[in-house]
């Protein structure tokens, strides 16, 4: 067995750890600003819509087994256009990595390291990401499997909120209107990104196609349920007037909890959350490095890894003010919606119309 391959079971942990990222803290607030108290319904709709994108990604990669998106694009669209889209996808994944760094810096700088310069916070995460992506896919995913049980800590802390909740805050259900609820689901789709790493990692995954689609779909379903649980809990913990003034309601909720041996529950939560952010960053940094490898015809992705990490860190330092962070978040989220959720469906249709299909292709 190739030392770079991962099992379909490991693929589950990869998708789970990549999907859980920075969005979990601010998602209840961002959904509430658009869909009000029905934001949890928007999230469930987003989880269902994502399944169509997952199906398209799986079907596309199944037509070109052992090929990453960077190898598939030239075969579908031709050499020149394929090169253009390889560059676009490389930059797309790079900017998702940058957005993760920006949002991570925003939270950590606000809640934990108040006096630490922003560039230090960003470069420490970038350095950790660089260290991990010099490893093989199998070694990276083994780390993801190792840290996944920590998610239980997040679940237990949030579960404690049910000692003081008010279900009446949810009523009347559907007050925002069905059209608003559906429109707001686009914000939730962006928060649930992570399934798109399958565009690269499916090339390294062993197992039958049926097993692969099952684990990706189930992983995305699990994260949708977890996110829905978190959003739902914050909506019944805070009244509607309070949510609009707390941009990170999950942390404000946890800050109110106090135990005899734990004073700042929110800091414990953030310590675990940072690991989840790191796994998302590592995944996207790795597939960005794979894109650089393809574009510059490098022998392996490790050659471009330091340049990718430095580039992402340098760009992430640029936005300093809160408004700048929100603008970056808005535009990168929009491109993510297009290239991660929608464009794979277009690529699959092009491949089917042009009857592009390959069996037994060797991975580079």
CATH number, domain containing residue 238? 1.20.1740.10
Assess if residue 363 is contained within a domain. Answer: no
Q: What is the DSSP string of 260-301?
A: SS-S-HHHHHHHHHHHHHHHHHHHHHHHHHHHHHHHTT-SSG
This prediction's pTM = 0.93
Band the pLDDT of 172: cuts 50, 70, 90: confident
Mind listing the pLDDT tens digit for each residue in 104-161? 999 999 998 888 999 999 999 999 999 999 999 999 999 999 999 998 888 888 998 8
**Token pair 């499916």 in the structure block, residue:** 202
| Residue 325 pLDDT | 84
- Give the number of other Cβ atoms within 10 Å of residue 315's Cβ: 18
Question: Does residue 262 register a pLDDT over 80?
Answer: no
> What average pLDDT does the segment 73-93 reach?
94
Question: Does residue 22 register a pLDDT over 90?
Answer: no
Assess if residue 266 is contained within a domain. Answer: yes
Band the pLDDT of 268: cuts 50, 70, 90: confident
Question: What is the count of structural domains for the chain?
Answer: 1
Interaxial angle between packed helices 322-336 and 178-191, expressed in degrees from 0 to 180 and rounded to the nearest 10 = 100
Assess if residue 265 is contained within a domain. Answer: yes
Q: Identify the three-state secondary structure at position 239.
A: coil
Band the pLDDT of 254: cuts 50, 70, 90: confident
Q: Compute the distance between CA of residue 23 and CA of residue 224 in angstroms, rounded to an integer.
A: 12
Q: Compute the distance between CA of residue 364 and CA of residue 362 in angstroms, rounded to an integer.
A: 6
> What average pLDDT does the segment 245-256 reach?
87
| Residue 359 pLDDT | 57
| Residue 3 pLDDT | 66
Question: Does residue 60 register a pLDDT over 80?
Answer: yes
Mind listing the pLDDT tens digit for each residue in 331-343? 888 898 899 989 9
Q: Which residue segment(s) compose the domain that 254 sits in? A: 8-353
Q: Residue 169 to residues 154, 178, 185, 208, 237: CA-CA distances in angstroms? A: 23, 19, 21, 46, 8
Assess if residue 293 is contained within a domain. Answer: yes
Assess if residue 330 is contained within a domain. Answer: yes
Would you call 323 exposed, middle or buried from its count of C-beta atoms within 10 A (0-12, 13-18, 19+)? exposed
Assess if residue 360 is contained within a domain. Answer: no
| Residue 25 pLDDT | 86
**Token pair 């399944």 in the structure block, residue:** 51
Mind listing the pLDDT tens digit for each residue in 310-331? 999 999 999 878 788 888 888 8
Assess if residue 282 is contained within a domain. Answer: yes
* Residue whose C-alpha is closest to residue 247's, from 53, 69, 66, 23: 23
Assess if residue 98 is contained within a domain. Answer: yes
Most confident by average pLDDT, 44-58, 244-258, 326-340: 44-58
> What average pLDDT does the segment 160-188 reach?
87
């Amino acid at each position: 067995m190739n030392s770079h391959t991962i099992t379909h079971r490991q693929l589950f942990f990869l998708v789970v750890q990549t999907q859980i990222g920075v969005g979990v803290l601010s998602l209840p607030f961002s959904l509430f600003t658009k869909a009000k108290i029905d934001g949890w319904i928007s999230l469930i709709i987003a989880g269902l819509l994502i399944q169509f994108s997952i199906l398209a990604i799986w079907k596309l990669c199944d037509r070109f087994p052992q090929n990453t998106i960077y190898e598939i694009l030239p075969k579908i669209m031709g050499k020149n256009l394929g090169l253009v889209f390889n560059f676009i996808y490389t930059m797309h994944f790079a900017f998702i990595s940058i957005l993760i760094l920006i949002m991570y810096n925003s939270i950590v700088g606000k809640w934990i390291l108040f006096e630490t310069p922003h560039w230090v916070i960003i470069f420490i995460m970038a350095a950790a990401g660089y260290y991990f992506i010099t490893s093989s896919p199998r070694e990276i995913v083994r780390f993801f499997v190792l840290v996944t049980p920590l998610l239980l800590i997040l679940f237990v802390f949030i579960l404690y909120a049910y000692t003081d909740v008010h279900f009446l805050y949810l009523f009347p259900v559907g007050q925002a209107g069905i059209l608003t609820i559906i429109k707001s689901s686009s914000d939730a789709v962006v928060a649930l990104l992570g399934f798109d790493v399958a565009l690269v990692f499916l090339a390294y995954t062993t197992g039958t196609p049926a097993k692969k689609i099952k684990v990706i779909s189930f992983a995305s379903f699990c994260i949708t349920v977890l996110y829905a649980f978190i959003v739902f809990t914050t909506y019944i913990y805070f009244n509607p007037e309070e949510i609009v003034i707390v941009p990170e309601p999950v942390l404000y909720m946890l800050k109110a909890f106090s135990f005899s041996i734990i004073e700042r529950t929110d800091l414990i939560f953030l310590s675990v959350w940072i690991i989840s952010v790191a796994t998302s960053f590592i995944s996207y940094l790795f597939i960005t490095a794979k894109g650089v490898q393809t574009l510059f015809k490098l022998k392996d992705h490790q050659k471009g890894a330091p340049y990718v990490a430095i580039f992402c860190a340098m760009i992430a330092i640029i936005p300093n003010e809160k408004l700048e962070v929100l603008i970056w978040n808005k535009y990168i989220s929009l491109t993510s919606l297009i290239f991660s959720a929608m464009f794979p469906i277009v690529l699959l249709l092009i491949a089917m119309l042009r009857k592009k299909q390959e069996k037994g292709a060797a991975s580079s």
